[in-house]
Amino acid sequence: MLEYYNTKQMEKSAILEQNDATENGFIKTLTDFFEGVSLLTKFTIRFFRQAFKPPFEFKEIIKQSYIIGYQSFPLVAITGFIMGLVITIQSRPTLVQFGAESWLPGMVAVSMIREIAPVITALIFAGKVGSGIGAELASMKVTEQIDAMEVSGINPFKYLVVTRILAATITLPMLSIIADAISLYGSYIGVNLKNDVSLRLFFLQAFQSLSFSDLFPSLFKTFFFGFSVGLIGCYKGYNCKKGTEGVGIAANSSVVFGSLAIFIIDMIAVQITSLLNC
């Protein structure tokens, strides 16, 4: 009887310890989340303070814009072309059933320009550029190059962080416009696999379905996409810890949180656009 009682007491103690560990783990996760949000907010405020304070690193901004655009353009172009082609091929049979095949260019144009091309381009941008920025700044942090810049009298935050965030903010809208154009050309190729439509007629049908309210919001939100990707990549890299292991963590977390930020911003942008169109 005594052994049975001791066994039950041990089981109760184990359950209580497990519950305490779960509760403590949840509290620690919640604390880490709010701490990360506060640090990112301070990092953002510091960026805006430094961005509008002279001297301005125009040469470095142009250099980073060129590097970011050059690295991302081939992948964005290929992805945009394939998206336009595939969506056209997949949508055509359904429209043919309803005798609405002539709506295909307009439907693809609206769907690509409003939502698909900007978001997919931003996700590619986060994977390519966000991880690159995070890994680059993290490696500089680990090898103490950032500390050496501070000792030399150079402002590393302004030279490394501000220039890359501004370059990402400027470059992504340009890449999004290129992706829109290439995806429409891919759609034109897809239409001509079954029919014979001239390029002029295709783009005439496509742009008849578009309005300024379709183009402006999709372009405007890409500035926020680029800013969030650059900000998160720079934050993760600039605050890298744990030695060389932190370089991989910074690159990986830059992609994960950058992609999550893109979806959140897109959700907010869609809600605001729908309210303005009511």
In a domain, residue 236? The reply is yes
Q: Look at residue 20 in the predicted model and tell me its pLDDT.
A: 52
pTM of the model: 0.85
- Per-residue pLDDT band at 10 (split at 50, 70, 90): low
More confidently predicted of 157 and 17: 157
pLDDT of residue 223 exceeding 60, the answer is yes
Strand, coil or helix: 43 = helix
Q: Look at residue 163 in the predicted model and tell me its pLDDT.
A: 92
Q: Alpha-carbon distance 235 to 220, whole Å?
A: 23
HSE-up of 260 (CA within 13 Å, CB side)? 8
Q: Are 112 and 83 in contact (CB under 8 A)?
A: yes
Q: Are 73 and 174 in contact (CB under 8 A)?
A: no
pLDDT of residue 243 exceeding 80, the answer is no
- Per-residue pLDDT band at 207 (split at 50, 70, 90): confident
Mean pLDDT of 259-264: 92
Q: Look at residue 270 in the predicted model and tell me its pLDDT.
A: 86
Buried b (16+ CB within 10 A) or exposed e, 40-51: beebeeebeeee
pLDDT of residue 86 exceeding 70, the answer is yes
Each residue's pLDDT tens digit, 224-236: 999 999 999 999 9
Phi, psi angles (nearest 5°) of residue 182: -70, -35
In a domain, residue 135? The reply is yes
In a domain, residue 2? The reply is no
In a domain, residue 62? The reply is yes
Residue of 20, 252, 205 lying closest to 108 (CA atoms): 205
Q: What are the distances in angstroms from CA 222 to CA 119, 122, 174?
A: 8, 7, 9
Q: Look at residue 148 in the predicted model and tell me its pLDDT.
A: 84
- Per-residue pLDDT band at 1 (split at 50, 70, 90): low
Determine what percent of the chain is predicted with pLDDT higher than 70: 88
Determine what percent of the chain is predicted with pLDDT higher than 90: 29
Q: Look at residue 199 in the predicted model and tell me its pLDDT.
A: 84
- Per-residue pLDDT band at 40 (split at 50, 70, 90): confident
Mean pLDDT of 76-102: 86
In a domain, residue 36? The reply is no
Q: Alpha-carbon distance 230 to 47, whole Å?
A: 11
Q: Alpha-carbon distance 122 to 116, whole Å?
A: 10
In a domain, residue 264? The reply is yes
Q: Which domain holds residue 166?
A: 56-277
In a domain, residue 234? The reply is yes
More confidently predicted of 35 and 20: 35
Q: What are the distances in angstroms from CA 230 to CA 47, 63, 99, 233?
A: 11, 15, 46, 5
Residue of 176, 200, 206, 12 lying closest to 105 (CA atoms): 206
In a domain, residue 136? The reply is yes
Q: Alpha-carbon distance 115 to 121, whole Å?
A: 10
More confidently predicted of 205 and 15: 205
How many structural domains compose the chain?
A: 1
Q: Alpha-carbon distance 190 to 25, whole Å?
A: 53
pLDDT of residue 78 exceeding 90, the answer is yes
Each residue's pLDDT tens digit, 136-172: 898 888 888 888 888 887 888 888 899 999 999 999 9
Q: Look at residue 122 in the predicted model and tell me its pLDDT.
A: 93
Q: What are the distances in angstroms from CA 176 to CA 158, 170, 247?
A: 27, 11, 29
pLDDT of residue 47 exceeding 70, the answer is yes
Q: Look at residue 121 in the predicted model and tell me its pLDDT.
A: 93
134: part of which helix (H) or strand (E)?
helix 131-142
- Mean pLDDT over all residues of the chain? 84
More confidently predicted of 90 and 20: 90
